[in-house]
Amino acid sequence: MAVNQRKSGNKKKNVDEKELNKDKKNSGTNEKNDENISSKIPWRKIFSRFMLSLLMIFAVYWTSKKENLHVFASQKDRLQLTSAEVSCSPAYKKDVSKFKDCVPKHCGRLVTDIVVTPEEAAHLLRVSKKGLAFGGSSGGASILDLHAGALSYDNSFINVYEKIKAHGANKVFTPDDFKVYSNVRNKIQQIISFNFGIPINKLYLTHPTFFSEITPRAAKTKHDEYWHIHVDKETYPSFHYTSLLYLSDYGIDFTGGRFIFVSDGKNMTVEPRAGRVSAFTSGAENPHYVERVSSGTRYALTVSFTCDKKFAIADPTMQKLE
C-alpha cells in the first residue's frame, strides 16, 4: 500500500508541475499581451493634444483680454495732443447746462505731453515728497492736499501745515514751490479750455485737488482702495472737468498703476509718463479706474475744475504756513 501511495503521489506531482508550467506560460502570454496593448496606446499623441488644448484655451483667454484693451497713450510716446470724443451722459449734460458758456463742445478725454515741462514736473514731484514725508497712509495710497492741508497719516488724516509748524520746519515749502504749482494749474486749465471750447474764466479750480502716492502695500481703509471703477461727478458733485498730471513713469518707476477708461467696447488705457496731462469730462461718459500698483511708487497730481463759482478754491500760498 505504501508503494502504491508513493506512485500515486508522483503522478500527482507531475500533473501539478505541468499545470504550473501551463499557468506560467499563460501568465507570460497575458503580460506580453498587456505590454502590446499598452504600447499600442498613443500616449505621446494624447499628451501632445492635451497640451495643445491648454495652449489654445490660454490663447483665446489672452486674446480676449487684449482685444478689450486699447492703449490710448503709451508711456514710450511723447504726445502733442491726442483726444477722443464720447457722448455726454444725460445727467452730466443736464447739470453742466445750468452754467452759461461752460457746456463743452463735446464730451471726451485728452492726453498731452507738451503742456507741462519736465522741470516743472520734477519740481512738483519734489514738493509732493516733501509734504508726504510728514505722514503717509498705512495702506497703499496716500494723499497731500495743499489747499485744505489734508495729509494721509496712518489710517486717517492730519493737517500738514500744523504738522510742519509743530516740527519748527516752516521752510519745507518755498514761495517758488507754490509759484510752480500755480503756473502748472493755469496751464492745465488752458488746455481744458482749448480742447472743450470753454472760456477759461468760466472754469474754477475746485476741491479736492491733491497729490497722490500709490505703492503696492495692502489697503487698510476704504481710502486705500483706488482700483474700483467710478465716476468722478458721482463721487464729487461739484466736478465738471477732471485732470491728472503724472509725476512718475509707468514701467520705469512702477508697474501696474495704469489709468483705464471703461467702455462697452474697448477700454482705453493711459500709461503714466512724467509731465503727462490727462483730462476729461467728469460725468458718467467717462467711468474709469486705476490698476493696482504692483511694484515701485506712482506719483500724480489730480487737478479738478467746476463750472459753479460757489465751489471755487484759490491756489495755495505761503500764508498757509503763517
Across the chain, which distance is largest between two alpha carbons, in Å? Answer: 134
What size, in residues, is the chain? 322
Q: Alpha carbon of 238 to those of 202, 211, 258, 309, 313: distances in Å?
A: 14, 19, 25, 10, 12
| Contact (Cβ atoms closer than 8 angstroms) between residue 113 and residue 273 | yes
| Contact (Cβ atoms closer than 8 angstroms) between residue 293 and residue 256 | yes
User: Would you give the DSSP letter of residue 121?
Assistant: H
Residue 321 corresponds to which cell in the numbers above? Answer: 504756513
Q: Alpha carbon of 134 to those of 172, 226, 283: distances in Å?
A: 10, 22, 34
Strand partners, 260: 269, 289
Q: At what angle do helices 118-132 and 175-196 cross, to 10 degrees?
A: 120
Give the whole-angstrom CA distance, residue 4 versus residue 147. 121
Q: Which residues 6+ apart lie within 8 Å of 237 measured at CB?
A: none
Q: Which residues 6+ apart lie within 8 Å of 180 measured at CB?
A: 120, 123, 124, 127
| Contact (Cβ atoms closer than 8 angstroms) between residue 77 and residue 274 | no
Give the whole-angstrom CA distance, residue 294 versus residue 297. 9
Q: Quote the Cα angle for 157-159-162, to 5°.
A: 145
292 given a catalytic annotation:
no
Q: Looking at the annotation, which residues are catalytic?
A: 298
